[in-house]
Amino acid sequence: MLRRLTLISAKQLTRSQSTSTPGAKEKWDLYAGILVERLPVISKTLNPLERQFQDLLSQVEYENSLKSDFELKHERDLVQKELIKQGKVQVDLDDSMAKQTAQDLKDAYKEELKKFQAAPRTTADDAANKLTSTDRCLEDTLYLVVKQKLGEQEHFVLPQGLRKDGESMRQTAERVLSERCGKDLQVLFYGNAPVGFHKYKYPSKQRSESVGAKIFFYRASVRAGNVNVEQQAIPYEWLPKETLNKKLNNAYAESINKFLI
C-alpha cells in the first residue's frame, strides 16, 4: 500500500477535491511520524522470583561445571605445601619467595573487590524528574514526544509532518525529524517500511481541501545527542510507555500501542 501511495502523481496529491459531491473520492493529507526511542541502558532489576530462579541456575551451573585453571592451581599448591611439611620435597627459599600461589592471587582479588563500587542505577536527572533528559529511567525504553499544533490546539504527539511532493515517506520522516528536533539528535531508522498507521478527520469547517490526515509511523532509535532546544524552541519530553499513554490522546495512543515493544 505504501508503494502505491508514493507512486501517486503530484497532481493527484495536491488537487483539491470536494467531499460534498456524492461519489467523490476523498482526499487525505499524508503525514510521516517518527517513534524515536532511547533503548534501555541497564538490565531490569530482578523481582524476588526471578532472583531465586537466577540463583538456582547459577547453583546448577556451578555443580555441573569443570574446575577452572585457578582451582586446579590452588589444589596443586595445597599438595605441594603438604609435601613440604612432610619433608618429601626440597624447597629453594629464594624460588619459593618469588613464587605467587593461588592463595596469594585470591587474597589480592578480595582486596581489589573491596575497592569496587557499583555505579548507581538512578541518576541526578531521575531525582530531579528531568523529563527532557535521556539520562534517566535507565531500565526502561523512553519515547520522544513533542508539542505540535494540530488545528487550533497544541497536543503532545510523536514528531510528525506533512509529506512534500517528490518525497518517499521515509524521506519525509527523516526531514521532519531534522526540522522538528534539530540535527544534534542522531538516530538510526530501522527500515523503509512504516511500522504503524493512524488516521483522523479534520473538523467539518477545515475540510475545504482534505478530509483528514493519514499518518505513517517509522521507528528509530537514538544513537547520540538530544533535541536541540536552542535551535528548536518546542516543548518535548522523553517518557516511558506507562506515562506516554497518559500524555497522548486516547485514539492516538491506541494506534501507537499496536507497535510499541
Residue-range domain boundaries for the chain: 26-42+123-257, 48-115
Q: Does the pLDDT value for residue 162 go beyond 90?
A: yes
What are residue 131's phi and psi, to 5 degrees? -70, -15
pLDDT at 22: 43
C-alpha closest to that of 227 among 158, 181, 175: 181
- Identify the sign of the CA torsion 163, 165, 167, 168: positive
pLDDT given for residue 209 in this prediction: 84
Among 6-10, 62-66, 216-220, the range with the most confident prediction by mean pLDDT is 216-220
Buried b (16+ CB within 10 A) or exposed e, 143-172: bbbbebeeeeeeebbbbbbebeeebebbeb
Q: Taking 70 as the threshold, does the pLDDT of residue 94 lie above it?
A: no
Least confident of 7-16, 181-190, 247-256: 7-16
By DSSP bridging, strand 212-224 and strand 236-239 are unpaired
- Residue 83 pLDDT grade (very low, low, confident, very high; cuts 50, 70, 90): confident
pLDDT tops 90 at residue 87 = no
Share of the chain above pLDDT 90, in %: 58
Burial class of residue 142 (count of CB atoms within 10 Å of its CB; 0-12, 13-18, 19+): buried
The confidence score (pLDDT) of residue 171 equals 96
Question: Percent of the chain, pLDDT > 70?
Answer: 85
Question: CA angle 155-192-243, nearest 5°?
Answer: 30
- pLDDT given for residue 91 in this prediction: 62
CA distance 244 to 252: 11
Q: What is the mean pLDDT of the chain?
A: 84
Cβ neighbours of residue 238 closer than 8 Å, sequence gap 6 or more: 38, 131, 132, 133, 134, 136, 137, 142, 143, 144
Query: Looking at residue 19, what is its pLDDT?
Result: 36
User: Which CATH number is 26-42+123-257's, of 3.40.309.10, 2.40.110.10, 3.90.1150.10, 3.90.79.10?
Assistant: 3.90.79.10
